[in-house]
Structure 1
Amino acid sequence: MPTLFDTYRGHLLDILKTLEGEGALPAGLDFRNVAVEPPRDASHGDLATNAAMVLAKPAGQNPRALAGLIAPRLADLPEVAAAELAGPGFINIRLKPGAWLRELDAVLAGRADYGRASIGAGQRVNVEYVSANPTGPMHMGHCRGAVVGDALANVLAFAGYDVTREYYINDAGSQVDTLARSAHLRYREALGEDIGEIPEGYYPGEYLKPVGEALAAEFGDRYVGKPESEWLQLFKRKASGAMMDMIRTDLALLGISHDLYSSEAELQASGAIEAAVAQLRADGLVYEGVLEAPKGELPDDWEPVELTLFRSTRFGDDVDRPIRKSDGSWTYFGADLAYHFQKARNADQLIDIWGADHAGTVKRIQAAVAALTGGSVPLDVKLVQMVRLFRAGEPVKMSKRSGNFVTLADVVEEVGKDVVRFIMLTRRSDAQLDFDFAKVVEQSKDNPVFYVQYAHARTCSLKRKFAEAGFDAARAPDLSLLDEDEIALVKLIAQFPRVVEAAATHHEPHRIAFYLGDLAAAFHALWNRGNDDPARRFIIESEALSRARLALADAIGQVIRNGLGVMGVTAAEELN
């Protein structure tokens, strides 16, 4: 559904086309950069347009003079109170209350669909997120990327994109070999052997005991005392499969599931890397060469080695990148290159959610995707900074190798799915986030989860109070009874569709959380005015005014529900 801003942009385009027809503007101007949006300072009006600023040069006119042609025609629109020139040629527009009341009607009519957009136009977007190595249960080091990726997928779907959620299983590296060896120890332990202390470098976690027991039940002592060559590949498949089952279960606690799971081991076995490299070689983008020596003092063991290199510098990277090692095996980059090529065949754009520690590999993989797709499939990599956990004022360390870590399941059990998901979106993903176990469940305005949930619960309580007052909820409200402060809330509500579009366009789901915090704060402020003046409460003796205010609260609650739904958070109807 079109937003209020879309509607007035449509009116503006009609005016510009009329001016073209009258000869006041030359024909064929490009209107794509003409925008209608809120002014930076709300005191300047309700809407602002840059039309005169962006069209003046191609039209060969002075911006302010052109604005002087446009503004009177905007002022003639039925719901426009004034259209005023500002600065070098901006136009600020003030709307009559009726325009906002119509928007309030649109919220109540659209309900769960209010804010849903069509800017995606069915474009296929592949969002790959989590993709943790299958070597243990999910811990809080994985949580933020999981939530950011899932919320972004929700935002894109809400904005009209065709979204595929993908998990890339890194089951071909040395860490999975270590997992198999660790599982073999637990397998021997399950058969009664005293394995002693877990060797340095293995995974010591208790979570591998059930894996060892399952292997013992399936194979008996067949692989006891046998060389690795007989059991390593089998145990890799079995152990990583068990870990993926555990990971799926952990993610389900956060309400997360993926549409597609892709295996690195299967990718390598399929010949996909060879096929991608062959295409790059045919395009003259792969060659045999020697990397430049590292800058600064050379390591004692450095020596020039001929490698298979990708010409990533042609696509903005700093240096060309090796895709095959001197021993003939593929580099991690070689496998990633082929994996992204595989994804790009079924998508119009790719989005990866990575931990910030992978920042150094962004340019090379974007270069590879550009080379393999001819630039037709853009790749956006969103980097997610770490989460610092605190308990009793002390930082909680997370290490999968030590077996001493806080699992995602533990955290969800302690504070709940909704709290975890909301908190992970309360800062930009590229900014560090602190998760304090006490503060995230605190019932105060300093806790954004509680503050937004409390606002929604209050809107639900008003419906109950309205019924308790004996008022008829079936009658249509007279929204013209709303005062200036209440109309100001409608103006904030009307921002929601724009926030959704911006979050989808910029791949920033945290914008939804920020907006809901602002809306909740404004609603609580409106609620609190009744503390000093009972006549300004939402439910009063006047049934007509109570009904109008209830409609406003209902719309606020609906928008909060819609926003929380996009974030993957359940809206609370009551709080203890």
Structure 2
Amino acid sequence: MTTLYHAYAAHVADAIAGLVASGELPAGLDTRGVTVEAPRDPTHGDLATNAAMVLAKPAGKKPRDIATGIAWALAQLPDVETAEVAGPGFLNIRLKPGVWQAELATMLRDGAAYGRSTMGAGAPVNVEYVSANPTGPMHMGHCRGAVVGDALASLMDYAGFKVTREYYINDAGGQVDTLARSVHLRYREALGETVEIPEGFYPGDYLVPVGEALAKEFGDRFVGKPESQWLSLFKERAVALMMERIREDLALLGIRQDVYFSEASLDARGAVQGALDTLAAKGLIYEGVLEAPKGEAADDWEPRPQTLFKASQFGDDSDRALKKSDGSWTYFAGDVAYHYDKLTRGFTQLVDMFGADHGGYVKRMQAAVRALSDNKVPLDIKLVQMVKLLRAGEPVKMSKRSGSFVTLADVVNEVGKDVVRFIMLTKRSDSQLDFDFAKVVEQSRDNPVFYVQYAHARIHSLQRRAAEAGIVLPEADLSLLDDEELALVKFAATWPRTVEAAAEAREPHRIAFYLGDLAANFHALWNRGNDDASRRFVLADNPALTSARLALARGIGQIIRNGLGVMGVEPVEEMH
């Protein structure tokens, strides 16, 4: 959709072209940095552009001189009330009330489509998230990355990208061997044997039903048998059963991925060697010796020849090993192959959600993708901090290795999917987040979930109130809305630009921030009626004004629903 911001960006571009045509500006100026945004302070106007500030230096002109020329051109537009130069050369634009009345009509007409963008132009994007090891059920350590990744995928889809949601199953390596051995113990236990779980195995009771399932399937066929006869089979069965449970846990959060990609499949079909052959053909692999890692004691490190990738040529701090001392692939080599597979599937942008403890892994993966794609495909890695679980301010302990962690299912069943999803998006993903079971269900202004949902419930109640008052509503005359009501329309109209900015920055938490501000503005307008009955939304003695105000409320309600939809949260129609 074409937004006000697109339309006025075009008007500014036309004004600049006019100044070039008249000789007041030189031809060939780079205008990519020119923006049209809502000013931070609404008293400055409705729109603002940095055009003069961006163009001044390359044009060899004073910013105010350029701004004055653009302002004159914009002032000739029929919908512009004023275009004023401020400070060193910022340009503030104030639009006539009819623009905002028409924008509200557009919100009501477009409905669920209002705010959708074609910015992405259908570019294929792979968003990979969760990717938890299939060694246990989902816990709250996984939850935030799952929600942020899913909301980001929805946001990018809403902004016009063609999004594939992907889960990387870590079904290769030592942790899956440990899982199989742990399951074999539970299998023997299910057949009546008393077992002890050794240190380093997975002790959680969640493996009991897995062992029972295998006991039912195989009987005592693998009791007392050497590991070589059952390890591979038990790995396959255990991973399949754990992934089934993980899918169920994700479904509780409303998350379903398009692709579940097996790590084990990479080496099985020679994909790791294939990816490294591609790097070798580019001259980016060699045999060499790395320097000792910083802080490593001399007696803890032994220099030895290794197969290395020239990661330092692509922005990494050092080159990276692709093989272990026993000749097997490093974890990094597998990840190189996995990302090369994404490139061969035609994705032009890649996004990964990483736990914050993987921050040191970012540069090497970005280097690998740059090398494999000849610098054509960007890899954006979003770091996600852990969630601190609290209950009335007291920490809730969790430990996956001990089996005493709090599962995602436990949390969703206690407070609900929508609360969990909303809270996970109330801060930047790379900042610490506290999740307090008491506070997230609190009905107060301090709880952003409640505050936004309460705004939607209030809006939903208005039509019923009008009907109960016996008001026959005429067609809405939006010219009856006052300045404060139109100020709410102006803020609501920033929704399309918020979507594009959030998608461009890959920051879905901006949607939650926007909805919180929109709800606050709506509640403030609602509260006018507490002191002055004439300013309430429903006026039994004034059907025309009631109709206009209900139209305003419906527009705000629609945008709240659109924003919650991007977040994967269901709007409520009444509070309990």
Say whether residues 1:3 and 2:3 are aligned partners. yes
Post-superposition Cα deviations, 1:26-53, rounded to whole Å, max 9, x if no partner, equal 3343332221111232221111112222
User: Match for 2:84: what amino acid?
Assistant: E
CA RMSD of aligned residues (A): 1.2
Query: What residue is the counterpart of 2:269 in the other structure?
Result: 270
Displacement of 1:25 in angstroms is 3.2
Where do 1:409-448 residues align within 5 Å? 409-448=409-448
SS at 1:300 equivalent: helix
Post-superposition Cα deviations, 1:321-353, rounded to whole Å, max 9, x if no partner, equal 101112110000000011011112220100000
TM-score, reference length from structure 2: 0.98
Where do 1:470-481 residues align within 5 Å? 470-473=470-473, 475-481=474-480
Query: What residue is the counterpart of 1:104 in the other structure?
Result: 104
Displacement of 1:61 in angstroms is 2.8
Distance of 2:222 and 2:533 partners within structure 1: 79
Give the conservation status (yes or no) of the 8 Å contact 1:253–1:409: yes
Query: What residue is the counterpart of 1:497 in the other structure?
Result: 496
Deviates more, 1:294-303 or 1:5-14: 294-303
Deviates more, 1:96-105 or 1:126-135: 96-105
Query: What residue is the counterpart of 1:121 in the other structure?
Result: 121
Distance of 1:115 and 1:533 partners within structure 2: 34
Query: What residue is the counterpart of 2:156 in the other structure?
Result: 156
Distance of 2:507 and 2:139 partners within structure 1: 23
SS at 1:403 equivalent: coil
Distance of 1:520 and 1:25 partners within structure 2: 44
Distance of 2:275 and 2:166 partners within structure 1: 20
Distance of 1:209 and 1:65 partners within structure 2: 76
Query: What residue is the counterpart of 2:286 in the other structure?
Result: 287
**Alpha carbons of structure 1 residues 488 and 297: separation in structure 2 relative to 1, 3 Å:** closer
SS at 2:462 equivalent: helix
Give the conservation status (yes or no) of the 8 Å contact 2:392–2:439: no
Where do 1:170-209 residues align within 5 Å? 170-195=170-195, 197-209=196-208
Query: What residue is the counterpart of 2:146 in the other structure?
Result: 146
Give the conservation status (yes or no) of the 8 Å contact 1:344–1:373: yes
**Alpha carbons of structure 1 residues 549 and 212: separation in structure 2 relative to 1, 3 Å:** same
User: Match for 1:376: what amino acid?
Assistant: K
**Alpha carbons of structure 1 residues 301 and 35: separation in structure 2 relative to 1, 3 Å:** closer
Give the conservation status (yes or no) of the 8 Å contact 1:127–1:164: yes
Query: What residue is the counterpart of 2:27 in the other structure?
Result: 27
Displacement of 1:299 in angstroms is 5.1
Where do 1:223-302 residues align within 5 Å? 223-296=222-295, 298=297, 300-302=299-301
Where do 1:307-318 residues align within 5 Å? 307-318=306-317
Displacement of 1:199 in angstroms is 1.4
Post-superposition Cα deviations, 1:65-111, rounded to whole Å, max 9, x if no partner, equal 12222212211211111111112222111111111111111100110
Displacement of 1:316 in angstroms is 1.2
Give the conservation status (yes or no) of the 8 Å contact 1:529–1:536: yes
Query: What residue is the counterpart of 2:404 in the other structure?
Result: 404
Distance of 2:468 and 2:300 partners within structure 1: 81
Distance of 1:328 and 1:112 partners within structure 2: 55
Deviates more, 1:464-473 or 1:443-452: 464-473
Displacement of 1:392 in angstroms is 4.1
SS at 1:324 equivalent: coil
Query: What residue is the counterpart of 1:357 in the other structure?
Result: 357
Distance of 2:575 and 2:245 partners within structure 1: 32
User: Match for 1:109: what amino acid?
Assistant: R
Distance of 1:305 and 1:26 partners within structure 2: 60
SS at 1:467 equivalent: helix
User: Match for 2:304: what amino acid?
Assistant: V
Distance of 1:276 and 1:109 partners within structure 2: 50
Query: What residue is the counterpart of 2:342 in the other structure?
Result: 343
Deviates more, 1:157-166 or 1:61-70: 61-70
Deviates more, 1:242-251 or 1:272-281: 272-281
Query: What residue is the counterpart of 2:375 in the other structure?
Result: 375
Post-superposition Cα deviations, 1:119-164, rounded to whole Å, max 9, x if no partner, equal 1000010000000000011000000000000000000000000000
Post-superposition Cα deviations, 1:371-416, rounded to whole Å, max 9, x if no partner, equal 1110111000000001000124321122122110111111100000
Query: What residue is the counterpart of 1:483 in the other structure?
Result: 482
SS at 2:136 equivalent: coil
* Structure 2: stretches of 5+ with no match in the other structure: none
Query: What residue is the counterpart of 1:388 in the other structure?
Result: 388
Distance of 1:294 and 1:62 partners within structure 2: 52
SS at 1:365 equivalent: helix
User: Match for 1:516: what amino acid?
Assistant: L
SS at 1:505 equivalent: helix
Query: What residue is the counterpart of 1:566 in the other structure?
Result: 566
**Alpha carbons of structure 1 residues 8 and 288: separation in structure 2 relative to 1, 3 Å:** same
Give the conservation status (yes or no) of the 8 Å contact 2:354–2:383: yes
**Alpha carbons of structure 1 residues 226 and 350: separation in structure 2 relative to 1, 3 Å:** same
Displacement of 1:301 in angstroms is 4.2
User: Match for 1:308: what amino acid?
Assistant: T
Distance of 1:153 and 1:267 partners within structure 2: 25
Distance of 2:317 and 2:59 partners within structure 1: 42
Distance of 1:294 and 1:342 partners within structure 2: 30
SS at 2:322 equivalent: strand
Identity %: 70
Distance of 1:201 and 1:255 partners within structure 2: 33
Displacement of 1:539 in angstroms is 0.3
Distance of 2:295 and 2:220 partners within structure 1: 54
**Alpha carbons of structure 1 residues 392 and 14: separation in structure 2 relative to 1, 3 Å:** closer
Give the conservation status (yes or no) of the 8 Å contact 1:141–1:398: no
Deviates more, 1:512-521 or 1:301-310: 301-310
Deviates more, 1:61-70 or 1:414-423: 61-70
Give the conservation status (yes or no) of the 8 Å contact 1:306–1:326: no
Distance of 1:72 and 1:297 partners within structure 2: 65
**Alpha carbons of structure 1 residues 194 and 397: separation in structure 2 relative to 1, 3 Å:** same
User: Match for 1:309: what amino acid?
Assistant: L
Deviates more, 1:248-257 or 1:267-276: 267-276
Distance of 2:293 and 2:255 partners within structure 1: 42
